[in-house]
Amino acid sequence: MTPESMRDGGSSSGGEPPLSGGAQRHPRPTRRGLLLGVGLAGLGGALAGCSTAAVPYDANEAGVVPGADAGAMPTSGAMSSPGGGMSSPGAMASTSAPAAAAPAAAAPTKSAKLTGTVLGAASEIPVGGGKIYTAAKVVVTQPSRGQYRAFSAVCTHVGCIMSEVANGTIDCPCHGGQFKITTGAVVAGPPPSPLPKKQIKVVNGMVVLL
């Protein structure tokens, strides 16, 4: 047997038997392949340990945006409302609606306001007679209790002022003219017309010329 045949025989006898059908044998792992596998496994572990949080586009390798104040970024646990700390549900529930306004106190009743010229007290006018108010040129009579009448105190004859109320008449001192205390109509004398009526009102016991 030749040396070539011995090498061939030795290699074929000492190694794995040849596969039938011409199939190739699986290559044995090499040292380079092992190192490459270890490196990929380490890289995968490193990637798995990295944070998956979103990083700003212009952040650096450390995940920080240049020029930004890292301390100013509030954490999720420190978020607060614009007006201060977020109130708790209990605090919100305790807030009550504004109390209804108290009803306004009733305005004090004002006494009747006197509009006009106050002549005097109604008690000064006798029942069945009257009183002459020379300054206002008015005569006020009370034919019966609580019923008041008022007339001009100027006589319709020549313009004299009345001087007396008696016996149911208003008397003029100039020419004897007399007028009824109930209507001011002429009773005696030369007066051509009755005394003009005046409007009065008794307010709080006072006679007021309107």
- Look at the chain and count its residues: 210
In whole angstroms, what is the distance from residue 31 CA to residue 42 CA?
A: 17
In whole angstroms, what is the distance from residue 166 CA to residue 169 CA?
A: 6
| Residues with Cβ within 8 Å of residue 183, at least 6 apart in sequence | 149, 194
Contact 121, 205 (CB under 8 A): yes
Contact 181, 170 (CB under 8 A): yes
Write b or e for each residue in 189-209: b if 16 or more Cβ atoms lie within 10 A of its Cβ, otherwise e.
eebeebbeebebeebeeebbb
Query: Of 146, 138, 152, 147, which Cα lies nearest the Cα of 197?
Result: 152
CA 200 to chain centre: 49
Contact 145, 127 (CB under 8 A): yes
pLDDT, residue 207, reads 96
Contact 194, 178 (CB under 8 A): no
Contact 130, 165 (CB under 8 A): yes
DSSP state of 192: -
pTM score of the predicted model: 0.47
pLDDT per residue of the chain (210 residues) written in tens, 0 to 9: 444 444 444 444 444 544 444 445 555 556 665 666 656 665 655 555 555 556 565 666 666 666 655 444 544 444 444 444 444 444 444 445 555 555 555 554 555 565 799 999 999 999 999 999 999 999 999 999 999 999 999 999 999 999 999 999 999 999 999 999 999 999 999 999 999 999 999 999 999 999
Q: Return the domain boundaries, the chain.
A: 125-209
Residue type, 94: S
Query: Of 111, 200, 204, which Cα lies nearest the Cα of 147?
Result: 200
Contact 162, 156 (CB under 8 A): no
CATH superfamily of 125-209: Rieske [2Fe-2S] iron-sulphur domain (2.102.10.10)
pLDDT, residue 115, reads 78
pLDDT, residue 37, reads 62
DSSP state of 181: T
H-helix segments, 97-201 = none
